[in-house]
Amino acid sequence: MRDLLITGSRLADGSSGDLGVSAGRFVDVADLTDPEYIDADGLLALPGLVDSHTHLREPGREDAETIATGTLAAARGGYTAVHAMANLQPVTDTAEAAEYLAGLAARTANAQVIVVGSVTKGLGGSELSEMGLMSRSAAGVRMFSDDGRCVADSLMMRRALTYAKTFDGVIAQHAQDPRLAGPGACCHESEISGRLGLPGWPAQAESTIIARDVELAQLSGGRLHVCHVSTAEGVDVIRWAKARGVNVSAEVTPHHLYLGTREVEGYDTTFKVNPPLRTDEHIEAVRAALADGTIDMVGTDHAPHARQDKDHPFDVALPGMLGLEQALAVVIEVMLNTGRLDWGGLVDRMSAAPARLTRSATQGRPIASGEPANLVLVDPSARAVVDRDSSASKSRNNPYHGRDLPDPVVATIWAGRITHRR
């Protein structure tokens, strides 16, 4: 791997200087040997982004995504690490499955793949998975989630939080009360769902589960992470829990920061996602919560689907949308360009905080000599119209297609290796 000399860039704090990379780490420029030059004049150098919530689909649904294509999309979006959710085929619910996924990633990935195990066997909700064995395996699993399904049983959730505490694990919950928002719920419960004739998904189906789970986290002393917060009510509960000292973190997706219920008016299944897109009051609430730190991080919930899984009536099509390649663009547009975050805040929400979630020793680190060389070079002024057909993903369910957004990522470097360069 050749040494790199990056010249002319600025850091998030406004400082500037040349950067040296050798053997996967940042080094003093004087220590480089025959480096490859990268002209970064006018660019920002930021720590590589970390996604707390990615669906890679491999093994099981390689027609929709593979580790190689999903992590290439991640690299194009500035990511040097992704947390790979457990709802694969087979489910990542054993040490063997976790090690198999880690082995696949070691051979084909374009970013670090941090394995997420399931909370319950087969995502069935009735029996805990091999969490302890997964944590002690070569995959070193630290986060567990049945994402796509809520751990609805209170006793099961308490046991999971209690057990994970013994090895500093975190339970990531898909907060959806199955009685208030059942399997058919697909549109935010509002005037729009009634007019369109789509089954409603009320905000309280999210907030009631979050309320229960923060109480269980306090009772057990375990670590709770709330996936894809989408409602003002959910934000209120998390803010209340943090004020009480509960060990809870939360993420918001780019699409819940940017898109709303009006997108479903045409029944375009690209915009079917779980939890659903919400109304303006909820969009404003999650933006404000990301700004003030109530919501700790951005998680893309990158969910690629093959065409045949989206080519159905709205209430039948599978939920989910792509997110990795445009996540940074959306956060720049709605949070940084509006003054709600500065570059330091963006780095915290998109790199440092998600790295802390699973205690990563190599990700979310500062750009400094001796640190792992995970880096994204950003052009803060570039813009482009999004074209879904140019995506690195195998799927095309991109909700940002045709929209004029920032086009920031010029290059991504993971462990000293260039994984994307415009």
**Token digits for 306?**
């093959």
Give residue-wise pLDDT tens across range 251-263. Answer: 999 999 999 999 9
Residue type present at position 217: A
In a domain, 30, yes or no: no
The total number of structural domains that make up the chain: 1
- At 332 the three-state DSSP class reads helix
| Average model confidence (pLDDT) across the chain | 98
When pLDDT is averaged across residues 186-197 and rounded to a whole number, the result is 96
Give residue-wise pLDDT tens across range 323-382. Answer: 999 999 999 999 999 999 999 999 999 999 999 999 999 999 999 999 999 999 999 999
Give residue-wise pLDDT tens across range 53-75. Answer: 999 999 999 999 999 999 999 99
Buried b (16+ CB within 10 A) or exposed e, 240-249: ebbeeebbbb
Query: Whole-angstrom Cα distance, residue 376 to residue 414?
Result: 9
Buried b (16+ CB within 10 A) or exposed e, 255-279: bbbbbbbebbeeeebbbbbbbbbbb
What domain range includes position 241? 48-366
In a domain, 218, yes or no: yes
Which of 150, 222, 223 shows the shortest CA–CA distance to 181?
150
332 CB-side CA count, 13 A: 20
- CA angle 187/191/193 to nearest 5° reads 25
In a domain, 66, yes or no: yes
Portion of the chain with pLDDT greater than 90, in percent: 99
Catalytically active residues are 301
Buried b (16+ CB within 10 A) or exposed e, 149-164: bbbbeeebbbbbbebb
In a domain, 306, yes or no: yes
Confidence of residue 309 (pLDDT cuts 50, 70, 90): very high
Query: Whole-angstrom Cα distance, residue 168 to residue 157?
Result: 16
In a domain, 12, yes or no: no
Query: Whole-angstrom Cα distance, residue 50 to residue 74?
Result: 9
Confidence of residue 40 (pLDDT cuts 50, 70, 90): very high
Residue type present at position 235: V
In a domain, 408, yes or no: no
Measure Cα distances from 41 to 9, 79, 391, 418, 421 in Å: 5, 21, 27, 18, 15
When pLDDT is averaged across residues 286-301 and rounded to a whole number, the result is 98
Query: Whole-angstrom Cα distance, residue 254 to residue 286?
Result: 10
Confidence of residue 183 (pLDDT cuts 50, 70, 90): confident
Asked if residues 82 and 111 have their Cβ atoms less than 8 Å apart, the reply is: yes
Query: Whole-angstrom Cα distance, residue 422 to residue 420?
Result: 7
Total-model pTM = 0.98
Give residue-wise pLDDT tens across range 138-173. Answer: 999 999 999 999 999 999 999 999 999 999 999 999
Which CATH number is 68's domain given?
3.20.20.140
Residue type present at position 27: V
SS3 content of the chain, % helix, strand, coil (to 5): 35, 20, 45
pLDDT for the residue 1: 87
Query: Whole-angstrom Cα distance, residue 351 to residue 324?
Result: 13
Give residue-wise pLDDT tens across range 233-246. Answer: 999 999 999 999 99
